[in-house]
Chain A
Amino acid sequence: MFKIFNWNSGIVEKTRMKNRIMTGSEAVMQSLLDEQIDTVFGYPGGGIMPIYDALFDYQNKINHILTRHEQGLIHAAQGYARVSGKVGVCFATAGPGATNLITGIADAMMDSTPLVCIIGQVASPLLGTDAFQEADVVGMTIPCTKWNYQITSGNKIPEILSKAFFIANSGRPGPVVISITKNAQLEKISYNYLKTSFLKSYKSKTYPEYKRIQEVATLINQAKKPFLVFGQGIILSGAELLLKQFIEKTGIPAASTLLGLSALSSDHPNYVGMLGMHGNYAPNLMTNKCDVLIGIGLRFDDRVTGDASRYAKQAKIIHIDIDNAEINKIVKVDIPVLGDASEVLEALIPLVKSGSYKLWMKEFKDRFSDEYSQVIEKDLYPKDDKPNMGVVIRMLNELTNNETILVTDVGQHQMIASRYFNFKNTRSLVTSGGLGTMGFCLPAAMGAKLGQPTKTVVAIIGDGGFQMTLQELGTISQYNISVKIIIMNNSFLGMVRQWQEMFFESRYSFTDMESPDFVKLADAYIIPASRVTEKSKLMQAIKKMLEHNGPSLLEVIVEKEDNVFPMIPPGASVDEIILKLQSNKNV
């Protein structure tokens, strides 16, 4: 064993192996093995056939999941990466295969999910000639990748893949696209894999300034009404325990963004709820009441800030983030700290004084009771016998002991599920937050189950989103991936309908949707399914579905025109959050 650091290439050689002669495609397989990748999501085609031919010999080492559409495979890889923390690997072919991946790549970019997409490409002499199934994949994916590269010579494969895995899963994670031309896949090369841990033009690590951290500590120690908001950065940096220690020592109330959910257990006494457009009442209101706002690992997305020009203007804002481009992007901050959440928290904890903010916490609790009496009670314990989305989530909480991984699609059910699900373990929510991709849930749930095979994975989907990627039932059935699918069917594109009701004078323009018989559909895929229309039978049905060994589907017919509240109307400030439909529609 040697350890050699090469300053020119920035590559640390871990072991010096004898170079082996193999094809470029085999080199792809070997590189995956050298990166300890055991699961790949893919769909073959002309441009990637040599790689699939090499995969044929590696079937016992690499578990390849054949989906039914490229969008399905990339969302599955996202789900896999999100729950496991490993890099999700995708194979797709040139042209349409690659363009079908783009939604997922953009989604992964927004939600900082580490992916490496290996995409076939026409042979390099044909590049730029509009050859059959040629698409300028590198050009197309520039805006939505952390890095991308086109390999035209087989020799480059180990080096570029090593770089790809390093870039995808370090710093702020993100998707990397590697396009490999067909001639490079076929070329004979001499294989030697060197793991990358440093690149000259990429800062994977930040070194937070101690002075800044001291300033932060001083500000926090002087605060009368401090408020902590955190995002997915906590999960990505593995800082869940440190966050818990920090808030327990300081007694500061903490709220999460949509993607930060599950970083802190939902029943923690200092946890005050979710931020954002459909977040909880108290944390949104208190953002504009606190005197120090501490943001860790979040990017102050517009759904969190509402009108950014009226966001926490009274407060001194501290922003701790690993990505320099996020600092001062939307919210002007007083103390920016560039650094990994866990490093900063580790340095910060000894500097802050322990305390509690009883009166300040009580303000949160009072607002929570307002929300409870006006919204939550009606959502979770409705009087009529028609099931609604809140009830389904409440029953899931009761039946699963919160050990499940929740995967949601996008829309009303997503908001209800993230509001009411009790998160206990980290990485137990997979949802498309930034891009808001409908059709994300079913394939992502499949990937999540493969990433955490011992956990129960529940997919909560609307009738609209389900029909966008329902072809993946085929994959679920073929590999017997034990995903528990709950379709909340309100025969509407619910969230859009809610907006039409509130902001477009109830002109329901193309939001009512007829669906097929989902039970029969599942039956065609040999997945046991049932339908519930009465609340009294719901508990039993969910229980039966969860207990079934293997995938199962439950369709719940929910109230058609329910609205999700609280809500920060678009363009409003966080403290203008409303708890019910207002008679004046021009909110």
Chain B
Amino acid sequence: MKNYIITTYAENNIGILNRILNIFSKRMVNVESLTVVETEENGLSKITIVITSTEDLVSNIVKQINKQIGIIKTAFDSNTEVFYQKISLYRMITKSLNFHEETIPAFNTNSMQ
């Protein structure tokens, strides 16, 4: 059992997410995380799903997702094949909108780590 990340590009239609998730529940696979974001192409969504499963099962699931009408492309990677990139957003109180290092003294490179 390994962690797998499934990425699918789907038409942004009502019910398509339901259709995709159904395949997981049908196979009794727990979805650990799910994100849906719009892509730069109009009407297309990128859906990222993380599951724990075997390679055989995940490849079957991906084929079944691909078969659904409204899905453009689906692929999967095991956790070890993916580079993570983390972005963090910080919200800080400033007195003015003038973004100068002096106005935000707490901001230093150490806090970014």
Contacts and interface: CB of A to CB of B under 8 A. Distances in A.
Nearest to A202: B69
A138 interface: yes
A146 B76 CA distance: 23
A199 B69 contact: yes
A200 interface: yes
Interface residues of A, number: 19
Contact of B11 (A167, A201, A325, A329): A201
Contact of A324 (B14, B15, B66): B66
Interface stretch (B57-65, B84-92, B96-104): B57-65
A325 B59 contact: no
A148 B15 CA distance: 9
A327 B62 CA distance: 12
| Central interface residue in B11, B15, B19, B69, by most chain A CB within 10 Å | B69
Nearest to A143: B22
Contacts of A167: 69
B26 A143 contact: yes
B26 A147 contact: no
Interface in A311-339: 323-325, 327-329
Q: Report the interface size class on chain B.
A: 10 to 19
B72 A200 contact: yes
Interface in B3-54: 10-11, 14-15, 18-19, 22, 26
A341 B14 CA distance: 34
Nearest to B70: A201
A329 B62 CA distance: 11
A142 interface: yes
Interface in A132-161: 138-139, 142-143, 146-148, 150
A418 to B, nearest CB: 29
B2 interface: no
A200 B72 CA distance: 7
Contact of B72 (A138, A148, A201, A325): A201
B61 to A, nearest CB: 9
Contacts of B14: 150
B26 A325 contact: no
B64 A325 contact: yes
A469 to B, nearest CB: 28
Nearest to A167: B69
B56 to A, nearest CB: 8
Given A138-B15, A142-B22, A143-B22, A324 B67 contact: yes
B17 to A, nearest CB: 10
B75 to A, nearest CB: 14
Contacts of A139: 15, 18
B53 to A, nearest CB: 15
B69 A325 contact: no
A359 to B, nearest CB: 37
Interface of A: 138-139, 142-143, 146-148, 150, 167, 199-202, 323-325, 327-329
29 contacts: A139-B18, A142-B15, A142-B18, A142-B22, A143-B22, A143-B26, A147-B69, A148-B15, A150-B14, A167-B69, A199-B69, A200-B11, A200-B72, A201-B10, A201-B11, A201-B69, A201-B70, A201-B71, A202-B69, A202-B70, A324-B67, A325-B60, A325-B63, A325-B64, A325-B66, A325-B67, A327-B63, A328-B59, A329-B60
When A and B form their complex, which 10 residue pairs have the shortest distance between CB atoms, in order from nearest? A325-B63, A147-B69, A202-B69, A325-B67, A325-B64, A201-B70, A142-B19, A324-B63, A201-B72, A143-B22
